[in-house]
Chains A and B, each alone.
Chain A
Amino acid sequence: MYGRKVKFRFFFVVTILLILILTTFLVLKSLEENVVYFQSPSEIKNIAEIKKNKIRVGGMVKENSLSMQSTVINFVITDFKNEINVTYSGAVPNLFEEGKGVVAEGFLKDRNFFSATKILAKHDENYMPPEVKAALQEN
């Protein structure tokens, strides 16, 4: 028979392994639930079905598309190929402006309408989100 010490060690190793597997599983699961995918207006035009997940849409704010009321801001995000209408109520960052890069986070209503819950813009006048740059370069 194995000694008490060996049994104890075996038990210890198994517990550690179980905990490791469990945490890995937990981490992966919440990763899956909480990641936000980035898409360009062109990609949205081509998606097969509208999912309920939160996504990010990136591109430029189209010139002369911005309108503002007391509770809501409307504008159009374009990648110069396709565009999407965005409605947003909330705080806007400093560099949010027509003709500048923007990333909007929120939910798709359909292929043409996006309801944003957060707007991100970068603190650099030459800055273009890498996603936007990539999307623009593809065209």
Chain B
Amino acid sequence: MASLIGSYSLIFGAFFSFLIFFFSIKNLSKNEILDYKIFYLSFLQFLFVLISFLGLILSFVVSDFSNETVYNYSHSTKPLFYKISGTWGNHEGSLLLWLLVLTLFITLFIIESKKQPKKYRVLTILFQQIIIFGFLIFLLKTSNPFNFIYPSPKEGLGLNPILQDPALAIHPPILYLGYVGSSIIFSSALSAMITNYITKEWAKHIKKWILISWIFLTVGILVGSIWAYYELGWGGFWFWDPVENVSLMPWFALITLIHCILVLEKRQILKSWVIVLSIATFTLSMCGTFLVRSGILNSVHTFANDPERGLFILIFLFSLIFLSIFVFFIFNKEDKKNNFSIFWMSREMSILVNNWFMMYFLSVVLIGTVYPIFLEVISSEKISVGPPFFNKLIIPFLIPFLLIMSIGPKFKWIKSNLNEKIFLFLLLILSLFLSFFVVKNLDVDFLIYTILVGSAFYLFFITLRDFFIMRFNNLSQNIAHFGFSLFILSILFNNIFTTEIITNLKVGETFHSNKVKIYFENIEQANKQNYKSLIGKFDVQNSDGVSEILKPELRIYNQPNIVTSEADIKTDIFEDRFITINIVQNKEYFNIRYQTKPFMIWIWFSVLLISLGGLISLIKKKYEN
């Protein structure tokens, strides 16, 4: 029943697209205020998609296995929380969520953009509606979440157990808010270009949307990383897996956009660049959807996929790209009035340099992700590009990046001189010295690490000092940059100081090394709602003689019959102690992995600080208005 309502409500939603097209185009040619019908229709469309989404949730909650999606991804013994989160834990449901956010955002946009010119608003609605319509067709044609099975099965196939996790329940919605937010930026940039409205006011208005998308994307990626850290049992938080890269690319584009929209706001230059970036951001988000859903990528995230879907998204993607390139070349006017001159010593120059670096990082990630696909198509050779590639090409470039990030904000707009030259120079020397003493005794590549850690310290000290001197002037930038220095420092120290022990142990055995003693005390069984759990008890004693009990867990799920490892992690402010066990083919030996990971919590915390910077900027904007 709920499925039926959901299904029809979705078709109604598609019907509303035509009405919105009709009224928007009609409204466009007439020179009056925005037709309120468009707003009501958009709102109704949102309501219908919402009903459809709630219908799907309800089908999951009551375990209606006559619905194909529910049958494929749910099971009656699954806890209620995961029945609900299972709604967007699969392809069909997650696309419905995409659509829901799309319709929600356009409704919010109409409300929020009241002060903007009418023509610009209508055009944005129109472009956005094209995207919504594309997704509706995609959903109805290739991945309808409401397909009916007759006779209806008694039991479902169950949700992949690694997705049955609180972090992964909220990861997709947050990430999608970021992805879909970029669609508003895309539509708005195109309309602003057509109506010749790329001005200070537009920059101010679109900045909010850029910040919102970026904050959600950042937090979404963070939640995903935390999940990967404790659930996948490898002890890392970023694997340069194609699907991770695909979320990182729009992030790079967005953070670049945030910086250069500031230049546009202050100086009305770099207009075309802002447009190109806006288009790129959304295209990259769409590419992400395409790459993940088409099954082209070989990754831990590729669950069910279907070539037809990939083809549809590809066609849709290309039409959008062509549309935007077309609009760009027709309407992009060379701005002759404005004197396009940038002085070397100015804030806009340092932002421009930041942009170049970001584009470089973006290209590296893009090449590393796409090259294997490309090579397979042209030469049918199968390769994978691993972390060494990314590390080698990104890490050295972080040094100038960090230095410019420290100095850049010291410049003023248009033309300025660097004050306190001597102080800044001394601080740099001090940072390098400090880093020299830290790195000296470590077993790492001495030169590059000294400089790298030194530059990170430099940014750290400069932002810290600015925080106390400037007080609340430019607080958002200050906090975000400080967070970034903390982020780089914690990652570096995390990489350098991580220790790992991998061994196979039987119950009762002890592993000895000069640093740690791991005693495998026992293993206990427990039955839970939809899994059986094996809990190992380990007594881990470090070199100081302090011992601690760790209890990693193995879960054997009933449906689907999959084993997952749940790491036991003891966190304090200096380090995480992380242990996982694994069973191999019911042998007596258990595969044990014990890691100490310094500063893990600081990595999470620093990313939160970075997004807090964005949040402050957003609130400040509201406050000023």
B562 at the binding interface (Cβ < 8 Å): yes
Complex contact A30–B392 (CB within 8 A): yes
B268 at the binding interface (Cβ < 8 Å): no
A46 at the binding interface (Cβ < 8 Å): no
List which B587-612 residues lie within 8 A (CB) of chain A.
587, 589, 591, 593
- 8 nearest interchain CB pairs? A34-B389, A38-B382, A91-B593, A35-B383, A34-B388, A68-B589, A68-B587, A91-B502
Chain A, residue nearest B589 (CB) = A68
B191 at the binding interface (Cβ < 8 Å): no
Residue from B160, B367, B503 in contact with A27 in the complex, judged by beta carbons closer than 8 Å:
B367
Closest-CB distance, B358 to chain A (whole angstroms):
14
List which B361-413 residues lie within 8 A (CB) of chain A.
363-364, 367-368, 371-372, 381-386, 388-389, 392-393
A14 at the binding interface (Cβ < 8 Å): no
Chain A, residue nearest B393 (CB) = A30
B561 at the binding interface (Cβ < 8 Å): yes
CA distance A131 to B363 in the complex (A): 27
0 or 1 for each of A40-64: is its CB under 8 Å from B? (1 = yes): 0000000000000000100000000
B134 at the binding interface (Cβ < 8 Å): no
- A34-B385, A123-B232 given; 7 more Cβ-contact pairs under 8 Å: A27-B363, A34-B386, A34-B389, A35-B384, A36-B385, A89-B502, A123-B562
CA distance A96 to B504 in the complex (A): 15
0 or 1 for each of A64-93: is its CB under 8 Å from B? (1 = yes): 001011110100000000000000011111
Complex contact B389–A35 (CB within 8 A): yes
B167 at the binding interface (Cβ < 8 Å): no
Residue from B367, B505, B563 in contact with A94 in the complex, judged by beta carbons closer than 8 Å:
B563
Closest-CB distance, B490 to chain A (whole angstroms):
24
Complex contact A31–B367 (CB within 8 A): yes
Complex contact B593–A124 (CB within 8 A): no
A123-B162, A125-B560 known; A92+B584 contact, CB < 8 A = yes
A21 at the binding interface (Cβ < 8 Å): no
When distances are taken between beta carbons in the complex, the residues of chain A under 8 Å from B367 are 27, 31
Tell me which of A33, A34, A70, A71 has the highest count of chain B C-beta atoms within 10 A of its own C-beta.
A34
Interface size class of B (residues with CB under 8 A): 35 or more
When distances are taken between beta carbons in the complex, the residues of chain A under 8 Å from B160 are 123-124
When distances are taken between beta carbons in the complex, the residues of chain A under 8 Å from B232 are 123
Chain B, residue nearest A32 (CB) = B389
CA distance A55 to B183 in the complex (A): 40
CA distance A71 to B502 in the complex (A): 8
0 or 1 for each of B287-305: is its CB under 8 Å from A? (1 = yes): 0000000000010100100
Chain A, residue nearest B509 (CB) = A70
0 or 1 for each of A90-133: is its CB under 8 Å from B? (1 = yes): 11111111100000000000000000000000111100011100
Decide if the interface of chain A is mainly helix, strand, loop or mixed.
Answer: loop
B128 at the binding interface (Cβ < 8 Å): no
CA distance A66 to B505 in the complex (A): 16
Residue from A26, A71, A129 in contact with B298 in the complex, judged by beta carbons closer than 8 Å:
A129
CA distance A97 to B583 in the complex (A): 9
The contact sample of 10 A-B pairs, CB cut-off 8 A, is A34-B386, A34-B389, A66-B587, A69-B504, A70-B503, A91-B233, A91-B234, A94-B563, A95-B562, A123-B232
CA distance A128 to B560 in the complex (A): 16
CA distance A125 to B157 in the complex (A): 12
When distances are taken between beta carbons in the complex, the residues of chain B under 8 Å from A37 are 381-383
0 or 1 for each of B118-161: is its CB under 8 Å from A? (1 = yes): 00000000000000000000000000000000000000000010
List which B292-320 residues lie within 8 A (CB) of chain A.
298, 300, 303
Tell me which of B367, B368, B384, B582 has the highest count of chain A C-beta atoms within 10 A of its own C-beta.
B384
Closest-CB distance, A106 to chain B (whole angstroms):
13
When distances are taken between beta carbons in the complex, the residues of chain B under 8 Å from A26 are 393
Closest-CB distance, B98 to chain A (whole angstroms):
23
Closest-CB distance, B514 to chain A (whole angstroms):
17
Residue from B303, B384, B587 in contact with A38 in the complex, judged by beta carbons closer than 8 Å:
B384
CA distance A81 to B232 in the complex (A): 32
Complex contact A94–B389 (CB within 8 A): no
CA distance A31 to B360 in the complex (A): 15
Closest-CB distance, A94 to chain B (whole angstroms):
5
CA distance A130 to B297 in the complex (A): 10
A31-B371, A70-B504 known; A92+B382 contact, CB < 8 A = no
Residue from B371, B560, B582, B585 in contact with A66 in the complex, judged by beta carbons closer than 8 Å:
B585
Complex contact B502–A90 (CB within 8 A): yes
When distances are taken between beta carbons in the complex, the residues of chain B under 8 Å from A97 are 584-585
B463 at the binding interface (Cβ < 8 Å): no
0 or 1 for each of B546-565: is its CB under 8 Å from A? (1 = yes): 00000000000000111111
